[in-house]
Chain A
């Protein structure tokens, strides 16, 4: 161990905390124990904002779903009409029979 390091060790010796440190720390601990820290609660405006956003997004999703359903119904109707028209044409054509 060289002299310089010894001097450094001497300079960085532990120092006592200021007078009353222990008492102040114990008082803070006791105070904290009496009034435990409240659980983290969101402010009301954050909750209101979250609810509004949920409603808006929910509404948009529902609208998309309804539009999809309507499109599906329209397609089914169109297919049914096309099907019945094809059936009518087939009935008109069938009695004539194949030409010789």
Chain B
């Protein structure tokens, strides 16, 4: 397949601060939703931007930049989990959600869902984050993770089934307790 002729619009170092400001929520959120550790998520996010700082010149345009940031964040977060084999060290209630809670339709349900996503197997967890946080299509997720799109669909399907079943059980339990 022939590549379209790219006009290299090199990202300048002067733009670094602007890039960090613009993409910090995306980078930090992927790391935080995956790691559920505030300090680790910040460490990963900072490392991603520092790598970007070192790799200036290799990136061509803003679309490529966003894709690059997402891919590097995903892999660094996965590496972090592999290296530390960590589970949630900070409770979900402590997470920096204040700005978000006000916009949530059901804060209790959202907290519950985040907790359930955190309990998913590592690989399925990242697929769910990329699908519902980043709104990526299975093909795009496959590209970021370097796995076949069919595998992404399977993991997503299984993860959703698991989450639905867990949510139903929790709701049932809640109904029993309220009776």
Contacts and interface: CB of A to CB of B under 8 A. Distances in A.
A29 B132 contact: no
B140 interface: no
Contact of A15 (B20, B32, B163): B32
Nearest to B54: A32
A7 B32 CA distance: 18
A87 to B, nearest CB: 79
A26 B16 contact: yes
Given A10-B110, A25-B50, A28-B46, A17 B25 contact: yes
Q: Which 4 A-B pairs have the closest CB atoms?
A: A11-B113, A17-B28, A11-B110, A12-B133
User: Which of A18, A25, A29, A32 counts the most B-chain CB atoms under 10 A from its CB?
Assistant: A25
Interface string A3-28: 01101111111111110011011101
Contacts of B38: 18
User: Which of A11, A28, A33 counts the most B-chain CB atoms under 10 A from its CB?
Assistant: A11
Contacts of A28: 46, 50
B21 interface: yes
If over half of A's interface residues share one DSSP class (helix, strand or loop), that class is named, otherwise mixed; here it is: helix
Contact of A12 (B96, B128, B167): B128
A16 B49 contact: no
A18 B46 contact: no
A21 B42 contact: yes
Contact of B49 (A5, A10, A14, A25): A25
